[in-house]
Amino acid sequence: MAEFLQFLLSGITVGAIYALVGLGFSIIYNASHVINFAQGEFVMLGGMGTVFLMAAGLPLIVAMPLAICVVVAVGLILEKLAVEPARDATVVTLIIITIGASIFIRGAVEVTLGKDFHRLPGFSGDEPILIGGAALQRQSLWIIGALIVVVAGLKWFFDHTRLGKAVLATSHNRIAAQLVGIEVRTILLVSFGLSAGLGALAGILTAPITLTKYDIGIMLGLKGFAAAILGGLGSGFGAVAGGIVLGVIEAMAAGYVSSAYKDAVAFVIILGVLFFMPSGLFGAKGAERV
Amino acid sequence: MGDRAQKSLFDLSVARKVQGTAKHSPHAPLSATEAAPGGDGAVRTVGAWLFSARTGGVLLLAAIVAILPLFLPNKFYFDVAIKTALHAIVCVGLNLLIGYAGQISLGHAGFFALGGYASAILTARFGWPGLVAMLAGAVGVGVLAFLVARPILRLKGHYLAMATLGLGIIISIIINREIPLTGGPDGMSVPALWVGPWRLTGPITWYWISGVTLVLAVWLALNLVESPMGRALRALHGSEVAAETTGIDVTRYKVLVFVVSAVFASIAGSLFAHAERFMTPVEAGFLRSIEFVTMVVLGGMASIFGSVVGAAILTALPQVLAVFHDFKHLALGAILIAVMIFMPKGLVPTLAALWRRRVG
Amino acid sequence: MRLRVDNVTKEFGGVRAVSELSFTVEPGRVHSIIGPNGAGKTTLFNIITGVYTPTQGRIWLGDDDITALPPAARAARGIARTFQNLQIFFNMTALENVMVGRHLHAPRRILPSMFHMPGIKRANREARERAAELMRKVGLARFIGADADSMPYGALKRLEIARALATEPKILLLDEPAAGLNPKETLEIDELIQKIAQSGITVVLVEHNMKLVMGVSDHILVLDYGRRLAEGTAAEVRNNPDVIRAYLGVGAVAGAA
């Protein structure tokens, strides 16, 4: 039982990270139908940025928001310089562009910050809390708490602010949104900024648990993408649910079946779900009109 | 016009894909003669025959393969050329899937590596003859592709991307973990390829093997593209529903092209294993899959020769960029973005269009 | 061959687009289906060609129940169509679009295709010649060397007809072939439909242009909200009080368009 609880707790923690990354995918996808393969790099940048700002002597409380701001700026620049000029390109072209961006960002970090592993201290110490025989990392509470705050914040943003409603409208129908005077280019910028910020947050929160390095973004990005797909692309709730489900199953599989195949589990699940539910767990069924 | 704009409203991915596809696809660089109105029933002259993409293009490629060794100063460059040719074979197959049939795959490195490891394991651990192992690998990969193709290719757009990506990653993880068989992350060495009494080793031998195989692969792919089946592939890319109602069994063709492209990748992988005498899981990795797709898109979707050019550039470029040392990845990323923004149709179709406008 | 729609219903999430509809298309005739927008005409085409599966009911072709056949198999049995929202292969040339229509009559085996065996060569030549011939027949001679996406709207409408004809259909379904065309082009389509009908192909026509419909049709079916409102010859339909009511009511604008 303690063992099960242990796996569940670590699964939820990891799942919350996947959810945060997956939300980033969903937000950009909704606004632009682009899958941003550089999403994982935002996560890496957040963690690495904070590490180096703290190494420069800044306290966490300053380094963290500063790092997020830097990553948001990177997201905006990416949108402006790489995605915006290719607005009308094919899906595959846009995928390649974001992949190019991710290679570029990884390369930039490799050159400037090096290839070593780095670690952030836990936000409230590294002593685990014992619950029913299972150890809960204090950092997990920060991660889960952050996810809850983010989800609530996003809900408020989309339901109650003009900008949020404009983003939603654009995702439903781009042309109609343009007709009612919504500046679609602004929406795209906002979505990239928002996703970059979320990614950075996820990267900072995980750094105390999983360490950070210039190339951790690849796998985290893919898992986040998997979470978004599992939940149904474009569904915010889906991305969160998909992330948690993915994290928990992965932790259970690692604990009870084989830790060697931990990373494979996520993708086996994804394939299974897609084979039987081609639009994900919560995705809308798209009917083809002729 | 109105209708096309309307279509993009509810089916963004397909509509955009279509717009971005090269028109003169099979006739890639030399299409002027093919597109001529006289094509219907007119007797094609020897000249036209020579300058058609299928014949002239293949001859040109063969000529390049034949004289290139004169310009390769040492073993290192031969090695780059071998890798280029083998990557190009994968891309030619992959372009049939992505460029012609319009179905993305982000997992083809998996098939490439499975072919390579099939050759490696069956020859090294089980003592099979090299050619038999290669064939077994190709058949095995073909069967695997056939089995997964039906459920996978029902998916569209990003869901298809995710599924193929997942498949590739699962293959890569298995190769990484089955250490007794594959050697795990450290890789495994591969015996030399024996064909009858001949032991095929050395960069020059392998240059010719990969070069000739590439020419053959290009010829086969061009033939397919210019057959009724090839038109069916492009048609289902253009409009699935119109293809269906015109009598094309869309599912069958998607499965078929997926299997063909997987087998191309498998054979290239087998050759790669014997040429390099070493296989590592890096060959199966997500980044390798991405590289293949990038080569296809960079060279030009629905352009077979584009795939060869794309493979050549992206295989050779990192070697060239090596002079930048640590800035290699930075430069690669920037180049990718720039080419995609300024030449979204890819190098060969863009240059071919420029050339056509120049000529007439 | 006789096409029979037998008690067909199609629901989309509880909304009935077609409701318990039955009718028969006799071979060799021009059979028009008219009705206001949203009457279920295109849905009906999608059911007949197998793009949609009906919620209930059967489709018969001759003595065979084809309800469960996929679109490609129905095409093989001689049903071809055009689309209201153009479905052109914009990634191909105009000629190639029509050549695709020869698919069912060409060899389609993988190895001969990849090795470019003589049969494939012959099939390519045959397809190219037939396609060019059909393009001339529908009045697209000057577009034979063109890319599909460089062609004007009216020409694309005819390109779809040429592609459909290339399959050598027994029954041709035309979905609003005159929509968006100017009077001269409409007249040409009128002539083309008559020419197609004279060649022995059964034509099922959905069209809003009443002058065109009344002129070419042997038989007219009037739909309203997915149900049959009236059926008969042009004269019978024109004088049917239900039809007059429907068309002077909400459907009047659509009918006149």
pLDDT computed for residue B54 by the predictor: 78
Q: What mean pLDDT do residues C67-74 have?
A: 96
C15 contact partners, CB below 8 Å, separation of at least 6: none
Kindly determine whether residue C103 and residue B247, on different chains, have CB atoms separated by under 8 Å. Answer: yes
Chain C residue numbers touching A289 (CB-CB < 8 A): 85
Higher pLDDT, B8 or B280: B280
> Shortest Cα distance from B325 to chain A (angstroms)?
10
Residue A235 CA: distances (Å) to CA of A42, A51, A200, A248: 20, 32, 21, 20
B100 contact partners, CB below 8 Å, separation of at least 6: B25, B225, B230, B233, B234, B237, B257, B302
Higher pLDDT, C223 or A232: C223
Q: What mean pLDDT do residues A109-118 have?
A: 89
pLDDT computed for residue B47 by the predictor: 56
Chain C residue numbers touching A287 (CB-CB < 8 A): 12
Statement: residue A168 has pLDDT above 90: no
- As a whole number of angstroms, the distance between CA B163 and CA A270 comes to 7
- As a whole number of angstroms, the distance between CA C59 and CA C151 comes to 36
Residue B315 included in any domain: no
- As a whole number of angstroms, the distance between CA C69 and CA C59 comes to 10
Pick the residue of A91, A171, A178 with the most B CBs within 10 A to test the interface with B by mutation: A91
Statement: residue B11 has pLDDT above 70: no
Whether A285 and chain B come into contact, CB under 8 Å, resolves to no
Judge contact between A289 and B242, C-beta under 8 A: no
C86-141 pLDDT, tens digit per residue, is 999 999 999 999 999 999 999 999 999 999 999 999 999 999 999 999 999 999 99
Judge contact between A71 and A131, C-beta under 8 A: no
Statement: residue B37 has pLDDT above 50: no
Chain B residue numbers touching C147 (CB-CB < 8 A): 23
Residue B109 included in any domain: yes
Report H helices in B278-346.
286-299, 304-321, 328-342
Kindly determine whether residue A290 and residue C51, on different chains, have CB atoms separated by under 8 Å. Answer: yes
Residue in chain A closest to C43 (alpha carbons) equals A290
Q: What mean pLDDT do residues A181-191 have?
A: 86
pLDDT computed for residue A128 by the predictor: 85
Kindly determine whether residue B154 and residue A290, on different chains, have CB atoms separated by under 8 Å. Answer: no
Exposed/middle/buried for C89, CB within 10 Å: 0-12, 13-18, 19+?
Answer: buried
Statement: residue A289 has pLDDT above 60: no
Statement: residue B45 has pLDDT above 80: no
pLDDT computed for residue A206 by the predictor: 92
A136 φ/ψ angles, rounded to the nearest 5 degrees: -110, 120
B233-247 pLDDT, tens digit per residue, is 999 999 999 999 999
C63 φ/ψ angles, rounded to the nearest 5 degrees: -100, 5
Whether A284 and chain B come into contact, CB under 8 Å, resolves to no
Q: Which residue has the tokens 């002259």?
A: B45
3-state secondary structure of B300: coil
Pick the residue of C86, C89, C91, C159 with the most B CBs within 10 A to test the interface with B by mutation: C91
- Reported confidence tier of residue B116, pLDDT bands at 50, 70, 90: very high
pLDDT computed for residue B159 by the predictor: 83
Look over chain B and give the mean of its residue pLDDT values, rounded to a whole number.
85
Residue B186 included in any domain: yes
- As a whole number of angstroms, the distance between CA C148 and CA C157 comes to 11
The residue segments making up the domain with residue B122 are 75-286
- As a whole number of angstroms, the distance between CA C32 and CA C44 comes to 12
Chain A residue numbers touching C83 (CB-CB < 8 A): 290
Q: Which of B197, B193, B187 is nearest to B206 (CA)?
A: B193
Tokens for A112, please give them.
């400037």
pLDDT computed for residue C248 by the predictor: 64
B120-148 core/surface letters (b: 16 or more CB in 10 A; e: else): bbbbbeeebebeebbbbbbebbbebbeeb
Quick one: how far is CA A226 from the chain centroid? Answer: 10
A9-27 pLDDT, tens digit per residue, is 999 999 999 999 999 999 9
Kindly determine whether residue C120 and residue B234, on different chains, have CB atoms separated by under 8 Å. Answer: no
> Shortest Cα distance from C24 to chain A (angstroms)?
24
Residue A195 included in any domain: yes
Residue in chain B closest to C166 (alpha carbons) equals B246
Statement: residue C75 has pLDDT above 90: yes
Whether B163 and chain A come into contact, CB under 8 Å, resolves to yes
DSSP letters along A220-265, please?
A: HHHHHHHHHHHH-TT-HHHHHHHHHHHHHHHHHIIIII-GGGHHHH
Find the Cα–Cα–Cα–Cα dihedral B285, B290, B295, B296, rounded to 10°.
120
A92-108 pLDDT, tens digit per residue, is 788 889 989 999 999 99
Kindly determine whether residue B241 and residue C113, on different chains, have CB atoms separated by under 8 Å. Answer: no
Look over chain A and give the mean of its residue pLDDT values, rounded to a whole number.
88
pLDDT computed for residue B4 by the predictor: 36
Give the C window 63-92 contacts with A, CB below 8 Å.
83-85, 87
- Reported confidence tier of residue B113, pLDDT bands at 50, 70, 90: very high
Any chains having at least 3 CB pairs less than 8 A from chain B are: A, C
Higher pLDDT, B326 or C48: C48
Give the A window 113-172 contacts with B, CB below 8 Å.
none
3-state secondary structure of C9: strand
A31 contact partners, CB below 8 Å, separation of at least 6: A167, A170, A171, A187, A188, A190, A191
Whether A77 and chain B come into contact, CB under 8 Å, resolves to no
- Percentage, residues of chain B above pLDDT 90: 63
Q: What mean pLDDT do residues C63-91 have?
A: 95
Whether A31 and chain B come into contact, CB under 8 Å, resolves to no
Kindly determine whether residue C12 and residue A287, on different chains, have CB atoms separated by under 8 Å. Answer: yes
Tokens for B206, please give them.
């392998």
Q: Which of B130, B88, B95, B117 is nearest to B283 (CA)?
A: B117
ipTM attached to this prediction: 0.91
Judge contact between C91 and B23, C-beta under 8 A: yes
Q: Which long-range contacts (CB under 8 A, 24 or more apart) does A222-225 make?
A: A222/A40, A222/B165, A222/B169, A222/B286, A223/A18, A223/A21, A223/A266, A224/A18, A224/A20, A224/A21, A224/A22, A224/A24, A224/A25, A224/A39, A224/A40, A224/A43, A225/A21, A225/A22, A225/A25, A225/A35, A225/A37, A225/A39, A225/B162, A225/B165
C199 contact partners, CB below 8 Å, separation of at least 6: none
- As a whole number of angstroms, the distance between CA B292 and CA B94 comes to 8
Residue A102 included in any domain: yes
Statement: residue B2 has pLDDT above 50: no
Distance separating the N- and C-terminal Cα atoms of chain B: 27
Kindly determine whether residue A97 and residue B337, on different chains, have CB atoms separated by under 8 Å. Answer: yes
Kindly determine whether residue A290 and residue C12, on different chains, have CB atoms separated by under 8 Å. Answer: no
Kindly determine whether residue C113 and residue B229, on different chains, have CB atoms separated by under 8 Å. Answer: yes
- Percentage, residues of chain B above pLDDT 70: 84
The residue segments making up the domain with residue A261 are 2-121+137-276
CB atoms within 10 A of CB B352: 26
CB atoms within 10 A of CB B333: 23
Q: What mean pLDDT do residues B6-19 have?
A: 32
Which of B47-51, C125-129, C154-158 shows the lowest mean pLDDT across its residues? B47-51
CATH of the domain at A161: 1.10.3470
Task: Please state the domain extents for chain C.
Answer: 1-78+169-257, 90-168
Residue B106 included in any domain: yes
Judge contact between B22 and B349, C-beta under 8 A: yes
pLDDT computed for residue B174 by the predictor: 95
C138 φ/ψ angles, rounded to the nearest 5 degrees: -90, 10
- Number of compact structural domains in chain A: 1
- Reported confidence tier of residue B53, pLDDT bands at 50, 70, 90: low
Residue A286 included in any domain: no
- Number of compact structural domains in chain B: 1
- Reported confidence tier of residue B188, pLDDT bands at 50, 70, 90: very high
Chain A residue set in contact with C, beta carbons under 8 Å: 287, 289-290
pLDDT computed for residue B6 by the predictor: 34
pLDDT computed for residue C142 by the predictor: 95
Residue in chain C closest to A290 (alpha carbons) equals C85
Higher pLDDT, B359 or B67: B67
E strands within chain C? 3-12, 15-25, 30-34, 56-61, 64-65, 79-81, 171-175, 202-206, 219-224, 227-232
pLDDT computed for residue B39 by the predictor: 40
pTM value is 0.88
Give the B window 197-256 contacts with A, CB below 8 Å.
241
Q: What mean pLDDT do residues B88-102 have?
A: 96
A59 Ramachandran zone, left/alpha/beta (phi>0; psi -120 to 50): beta
| CB-defined contacts A:C, below 8 A | 9
Any chains having at least 3 CB pairs less than 8 A from chain C are: A, B
3-state secondary structure of B304: helix
Q: What is the CATH number of domain C1-78+169-257?
A: 3.40.50.300
Tokens for A189, please give them.
């910028």
- Reported confidence tier of residue B48, pLDDT bands at 50, 70, 90: low
User: Of the candidates A90, A233, A264, which has its C-beta nearest B158's C-beta?
Assistant: A233
Largest CA distance in chain C: 64
C29-46 pLDDT, tens digit per residue, is 999 999 888 888 999 999
Higher pLDDT, B2 or B114: B114
Pairing of strands B188-189, B193-195: unpaired
Residue in chain A closest to C13 (alpha carbons) equals A287
CB atoms within 10 A of CB C37: 13
pLDDT computed for residue A283 by the predictor: 62
pLDDT computed for residue A134 by the predictor: 84
| CB-defined contacts B:C, below 8 A | 156
Pairing of strands C79-81, C171-175: parallel
**Could you give the count of Cα atoms lying within 13 Å of B91 in the half-sphere of its Cβ?**
35
> Shortest Cα distance from A285 to chain C (angstroms)?
12
Q: Which of B67, B73, B27 is nearest to B51 (CA)?
A: B27
Tokens for B218, please give them.
């290009």
Statement: residue B320 has pLDDT above 90: no
Instruction: Tell me the residue length of chain C.
Output: 257
